[in-house]
Structure 1
């Protein structure tokens, strides 16, 4: 990928980070350092990614946790591997069972939306298949942070306190008691710079590490999780945990101007990013059109069309009534591209022919590269924390529909539409590098913008992340970051977009990118200014 390392589209943009022997980019400096320490101890990029991911459950618990899901794209031995470690709905849950408890739609918090957590299984599976170090050694930095404590970073402190407000408003006091005991001892959350520790978290991580994650699914932790959820009126059982296995999948991709852009296939929403790029790939974008109104308009319209299709069709692949190949076909891309005109339009799904999250990237000197993402969803997740363990359980089941006719209708053992997505770039069958932007439904939009910033507008990874972002919400509504050019915002309004300038902290996602120079092997990394992130290299 060709870019000028000193080129700044804006004077406030930062320069990228370079290294040769290894690199870890995360949203929290201590987690990035944990991954780098593992590299220096002889681990590879896979070990480093596991170390950083586990550390993030401790140092940024407001965005992810042991009780969440995970996905990974791993480049090793000359090919790309995909891991889907998202857990299904419990075997005993059903639409009728949820409705019998008085719900007309899936609740967001509490025990009902708790699905099988997949993150610990992802760590164990990645370590077994590709790691060089024992899992317990990769988890050692996270265990140490939990046991000894660490100073909370500013962004984490903000979201930590916000979560406490949400749970006070939306969860009964008894339900949220264990969360407050763990994450807000004494009735308040830690401030930026304040030391925080979680011995229970350390114990759980040690148990996972020593057992290769087996204790979480078929041992002491599984028993504790199942008993706690049962006591809170949920559906998750020990049998659900014991039955879970992560799934190796074939990544899906589109060719975008000579680069292969890779995503995990459904049930993840990475397909939406590929749908948008499949439309945009047939359009021309001048190198100097970054943030130009016409270029922005076409990006937004393509993304709206992609979301309309994604929200209609994406679910557990065993329940999809359309194939990924049909959705990503050249003919369907042409059809959807033809719907984009000079004015904003309401998004509608097409009819192709049938036939709270953390993202991190890691690379090593051997050529291994990892794109990894994990999440509890909506910050800390369900609001339930298994007492004495630090395990905050996810609420991923809240995305299921209680409409039996909907593609993502709740069913026992089914995986829901999933928002978290890792991305990866290759060219000519060779690795270029991992990229990702966390943040709910912002994620595929962030992927599109990051890819275009690098490929179409020749920005280095840091500038690609620093560029002002837009986010489509629904209908004609689009929000822009406050540092967006005012003239561009006004031009988009004249095109029919309903524009708001949004200063919401972190609502435009937080990303990381690592690229490798194929000739020298030098790594080039960027991290998002919208978080506490850092790129650690050596």
Structure 2
């Protein structure tokens, strides 16, 4: 291990030294637009405690949610106001043309909403003949958007404010503009390099021919008008009105399959959440077509191990979590798809006997390789909100890979998702592309309740395939190690990459990294400020007299309360 240990230590030191030495003083210019907005020093946030809380990845969106509650709205209104605002201020991860899922506890029971869109009716396997895989960007990656239907469904069933009121802050920010925050600016520049040639992208998102930089003001008046139209029509304009016609017309112009009939046929689905007992609480996720079941499988495997007896960030504890996650992802990649196409029932994957058998395969002394495929990284936004009446909301929406397909409908500001990239072309696979079929989804809201169903914790970890892995890591910290939400958000993370390869944050103790390497884990050590690949957690937890909330420092957001 001698040379390996030296190599690992050198890698850690190089990462950390680069993160500090990469900063150069801008001199007096730091008072203006030349400020680098890069902090190589770990910061500490305190958990927020209040009767009503909102936590999300962008401060203006969190404040929009809080304002909705201050004006008489409830947690659902707050989550929706924040989510709609996020389509404006964080276009790098979501938009009006994306999908959404939600878990809502109304104070009595937990409700699930699947608002993911389906493939166009014209998407048969033959439509993609001659391709090695599903297109990752462009019109042939666009499925029917579902986010707008989530807004209307949640507002109608649970909201207290008029639907149009939820759009006011978002419309104002789109019209007058907002200052681009550091994490968003970084992702914007990355997206620009990948998508600048896609139809409509540069006209909307590259003013002056480039991505806006940190601290620069960005306006999107076309999106303001679109949001106003959605607000006025209760979402009808998007699926059956003027906006639907414009989307379908652009699809025809580019030879794409999406039609007005596909948009008109879309309906969100109220679903029964999956649940699993774990260490005295009930963990809840939405059923497939999403990957939430992977988090439950991993927790179910850990329930059959000595997890509570190990220390946080210890070598045995991290090894157990990583190995459980590998097994869970292997099952998920093999079996999860549109539930109408699955050949294995979710209940079979969560059977206690099956989970115990999976746990028994973990070698405590060596890293394993169950051999599964790893989905692409992605971009997502998450909101949690809770109010003094006991309602808690776990809400997530996304365009999938960053901006999504890169396609923007001219004159509307609507950026369309690329969820079609979640399908496979593999014959016989349950997730093979098909007409009006829902693709495998990465975005998942999470929830913890008491054994009798009382609300405890609403949480999510945005970030593509990191989401289920993040749910497990945050859940273990909250339940097994009794950490508060902000500590659970701040803590270092790992991410399974495939085989024995694991990405880890350099903030993990050096001895822990050495120990994992000795067990056979092939580690990629990542500096803290490069941690976009480790997700962005937002957590709200119920106390006896209110709530405590935390927001991930890897994002620009915050938890707020009143």
Q: Provide TM-score, normalisation by structure 1.
A: 0.93
Looking at structure 2, the residues matched to 162 and 374 of structure 1 have their Cα atoms a distance apart, in angstroms, of 20
Give the equivalent residue in structure 1 for 2:255: 233
The answer to whether the aligner puts 1:186 opposite 2:208 as a matched pair is yes
Give the equivalent residue in structure 1 for 2:541: 515
Give the equivalent residue in structure 2 for 1:373: 396
Looking at structure 2, the residues matched to 92 and 286 of structure 1 have their Cα atoms a distance apart, in angstroms, of 50
Looking at structure 2, the residues matched to 11 and 98 of structure 1 have their Cα atoms a distance apart, in angstroms, of 47
| TM-superposition CA deviations, 1:171-217 (whole Å, max 9, x none) | xx3xx251111111220111111111111101111111111111100
Choose the corresponding residue for 2:361, options 317, 326, 339.
339
Looking at structure 2, the residues matched to 135 and 153 of structure 1 have their Cα atoms a distance apart, in angstroms, of 28
- Tell me, yes or no, if the aligned pair for 1:305 and 1:348 is still in contact at 8 Å: no
| TM-superposition CA deviations, 1:196-248 (whole Å, max 9, x none) | 11111011111111111111000011001111122122111000000000000
Choose the corresponding residue for 2:347, options 306, 325, 330.
325
Give the equivalent residue in structure 2 for 1:431: 455
Q: Tell me, what secondary structure is at the counterpart of 1:137?
A: helix
Give the equivalent residue in structure 1 for 2:146: 118
- Tell me, yes or no, if the aligned pair for 2:54 and 2:561 is still in contact at 8 Å: yes
The answer to whether the aligner puts 1:251 opposite 2:260 as a matched pair is no
Q: 1:13, CA displacement in angstroms?
A: 4.5
Give the equivalent residue in structure 2 for 1:128: 156
| TM-superposition CA deviations, 1:5-55 (whole Å, max 9, x none) | xxxxx99643211011x1110000000000001001111111111100000
Q: Tell me, what secondary structure is at the counterpart of 1:484?
A: coil
| TM-superposition CA deviations, 1:378-416 (whole Å, max 9, x none) | 100001001111110000001111122112100001001
Give the equivalent residue in structure 2 for 1:406: 429
Looking at structure 1, the residues matched to 524 and 421 of structure 2 have their Cα atoms a distance apart, in angstroms, of 28
Q: 1:105, CA displacement in angstroms?
A: 1.1
Choose the corresponding residue for 1:490, options 496, 514, 528.
514
Choose the corresponding residue for 1:441, options 462, 465, 479.
465
Superposition CA RMSD, Å: 1.3
Q: 1:348, CA displacement in angstroms?
A: 5.0
Q: 1:286, CA displacement in angstroms?
A: 4.5
Instruction: Give the number of aligned pairs.
Output: 512
Looking at structure 2, the residues matched to 490 and 189 of structure 1 have their Cα atoms a distance apart, in angstroms, of 40
Choose the corresponding residue for 1:166, options 194, 204, 223.
194
Give the equivalent residue in structure 2 for 1:391: 414
Q: Tell me, what secondary structure is at the counterpart of 1:317?
A: coil
Q: 1:104, CA displacement in angstroms?
A: 2.1
Looking at structure 1, the residues matched to 392 and 325 of structure 2 have their Cα atoms a distance apart, in angstroms, of 28
- Tell me, yes or no, if the aligned pair for 2:371 and 2:498 is still in contact at 8 Å: no
Give the equivalent residue in structure 1 for 2:495: 471
Looking at structure 1, the residues matched to 314 and 255 of structure 2 have their Cα atoms a distance apart, in angstroms, of 52
Q: Provide TM-score, normalisation by structure 2.
A: 0.89
Q: 280-289 vs 23-32, which deviates more? A: 280-289
The list of structure 1 runs, each at least 4 consecutive aligned residues, that deviate by more than 6 angstroms after superposition, is none
Give the equivalent residue in structure 2 for 1:14: 45
Q: Which runs of 5+ in 2 are unaligned?
A: 1-40, 373-378
- Tell me, yes or no, if the aligned pair for 2:76 and 2:385 is still in contact at 8 Å: yes
